[in-house]
Amino acid sequence: MKSFLALCLIVNSSLILASETCYKAETKTPDNIPQTFCLSGASLDVNSGELSTTGSDQATPKTLKNVSLIRNTEDSYKFVTTKTIYDYLETVCGESILAELEIKGQSDVYGQVDEKTLSLTVNYETQNDSCHSMPATESYSYKLVK
């Protein structure tokens, strides 16, 4: 009986993971940025522009704030949302690192999002001296893998 329950749990976990859509970085990312983001669903609040994601991946933020929300057609919206995923400041004027996940996409008028059509980018800023130097910026693009 225990082996049957364990088998059911394994099969159920496999089905959950199989239904997730994953995006993998096109190049190697720094250690403090995930190489892969996965989600099983996404919806847009068309009033606030906030994007909500579902899924078992702990690296993928559950909510992202609105940067841009425009009416694309009478039946759809285009959106850009962001969320800070890493924020480090050594001291007041020390080294700093900031990583922000940006998700772009399109939804219908009800906020339904096809997670396979999203565009994911992490904008990564580093500074040796946050008071006296300009940040060095890199962007990491992610592509759909499943």
pLDDT in tens, 2-24: 554 444 444 444 444 458 999 99
How many other C-beta atoms can be found within 10 angstroms of the C-beta atom of residue 47?
9
**Residue 98 lies in domain:** 21-144
Q: How far is it, in rounded angstroms, from Cα 110 to Cα 88? A: 37
Q: How many percent of the chain have pLDDT more than 90? A: 79
Q: Binning pLDDT at 50, 70 and 90, where does residue 80 land?
A: very high
Choose between 5 and 95: higher pLDDT.
95
What percent of the chain has pLDDT above 70? 88
Task: Pull the structure tokens for residue 29.
Answer: 């990312």
Q: What pLDDT, on the 0 to 100 scale, is given for residue 48?
A: 92
Average the pLDDT over 19-33 and give the result.
96
Average pLDDT over every residue of 88-113: 94
Q: Residue 132 and residue 139: Cα distance in Å, rounded?
A: 23
Q: How many domains does the chain have?
A: 1
Q: Looking at the domain assignment, is residue 9 inside a domain? A: no
